[in-house]
Structure 1
Amino acid sequence: MSSPVRDHLISAAERLFAERGSDVVSLREINTAAGSTNASAIQYHFGGRTGLIRAVLEKHDVAIEARRHDLLDAYESEGGSDLRALCAALVRPLAAELDVDGGPGYLQLCADLFNRPNPTFDLDALAGSSYGRWRDLAQPLLSPEAVRLHRRFDSLRFTVSELARRSRTGRRDHRLFTSHLTDLVTALLAAPVSDQTKRLLRR
């Protein structure tokens, strides 16, 4: 349930995450930045750090999901075989967050979560999301080796990392950047798997 204090805590977290990354910002810093005088405000409203992170993600995921489903609907209506168009459906909904209030903090949080040595996220939730739908549509366009090497997840991790980096540049026109990022993601998915890598996969 929304409240002014809860909203201020989320906004403060987004701002600090964008500036410094989510892993080094303390709950006390977020509480102070939000102007809260209650030291246990985050615990009260979110149940702790994990709940706050979930709230930041949920704030942005609704719009991202809608944007991506719209693009995937268009992709399927046009025949569903253009890999670059499919990659645009991965990149563009996230790139839109560059211009959204709190979006840079969201992107940095995603980059931090996906770049951990052992990323933790709800695979069942992803499977039922627009990303899960994107993964299913991408699979027939990839080689079996590319699927085994988790290139679809690598594409998502690369996308959010590059967008988080972009958000710190202060630039406002992201059209060229987004188009080029889409090209790079397309190339990542379509790149041939070398004979050496294939041999190593078979071992």
Structure 2
Amino acid sequence: MARTSGPETREKLIRAAEELFAAQGVDGAQLRDITRLAGQANPSAVQYHFGSRAGLLDAVMAGRLARTERVLVALAPGAGEDVRGLVTALVTAEASELRTDRGRRCLRVSAQLSHESGVRSRTPHPTLAGTAYWALIDRIAARLAEDGLPGPLLLERLDLALTVVGAALADRARQYLDGAEPLTDEPLFLADLVETTTALLRAPRPRSS
């Protein structure tokens, strides 16, 4: 087996993790199987390069975020300040991952981590701190606050909306990876996801609140 450099080995482990985390689950995939799929003979390769399973998962998500950030940075300035425009930018950036098998796998992985973003506590996960993604979430939250939603309900609703977007895109990604025929074409699916998510966010405040 040809020797590879540290960066090359890291990339192989990340690619293998993307595949197995997507197929078997973030908690279900075994590190030994990731190491084997990456072609590494050292069973401690993940620990050596990433420190732990969590470190490897952070590396997977950092790569996925870097790709969507490039799209979002171009979209965000023109998104306006209304909720629908902001949600459109968010969905468009996230949906860019549907273009490749790698991105589709990462959508399936990130959907499993939707509640770890830090939205509920208003403290971003370290991988999200200072990103265009987090700035966009803040802009959406500001619009919801103007609608008079109380803080706890606002954060819960925003977290739910992000979970819906992540789950919908992950399911679409699964269909593409499995070769299944979706019920709708992609433009209609994404347009409906924007409208559905916007409606969820802009729903009237419950009378009981």
Deviating more after overlay: 80-89 vs 26-35: 80-89
Q: TM-score, normalised by structure 1?
A: 0.83
Give 2:206's match in structure 1, choosing from 157, 172, 194.
Answer: 194
Give the structure 1 partner of residue 131 of structure 2. 129
Q: C-alpha deviations, 1:52-107, integer Å up to 9, x for none? A: 111111112112112112211112xxxx3432211011111111111134212221
Q: Does 2:68 correspond to 1:68?
A: no
Q: Give the unaligned 5+ runs of structure 2.
A: none
Give the structure 2 partner of residue 160 of structure 1. 166
Give the structure 2 partner of residue 100 of structure 1. 100
Match for 1:46: what amino acid? F
How far off is 1:140 after superposition? 3.8
Task: Report the identity percentage.
Answer: 36
Give the structure 2 partner of residue 42 of structure 1. 46
Give 1:55's match in structure 2, choosing from 59, 62, 81.
Answer: 59
Q: TM-score, normalised by structure 2?
A: 0.81
How far apart in 2 are the matches of 1:133 and 1:82?
Answer: 14
RMSD: 2.2
Cα 1:4–1:95 change in 2 (3 A) is: same
Q: C-alpha deviations, 1:111-158, integer Å up to 9, x for none? A: 11125xxx3656264352212211232234322326532122222221
- Please say if residues 73 and 132 of structure 2, whose CA atoms lie closer than 8 Å, have aligned partners that are also in contact: yes
Give 1:183's match in structure 2, choosing from 195, 198, 206.
Answer: 195
- Please say if residues 18 and 106 of structure 2, whose CA atoms lie closer than 8 Å, have aligned partners that are also in contact: yes
How far apart in 1 are the matches of 2:142 and 2:59?
Answer: 34
Cα 1:2–1:93 change in 2 (3 A) is: farther
Cα 1:138–1:153 change in 2 (3 A) is: same
- Please say if residues 64 and 103 of structure 2, whose CA atoms lie closer than 8 Å, have aligned partners that are also in contact: yes
Q: Give the unaligned 5+ runs of structure 1.
A: 199-203
Cα 1:81–1:5 change in 2 (3 A) is: closer
- Please say if residues 117 and 125 of structure 2, whose CA atoms lie closer than 8 Å, have aligned partners that are also in contact: no
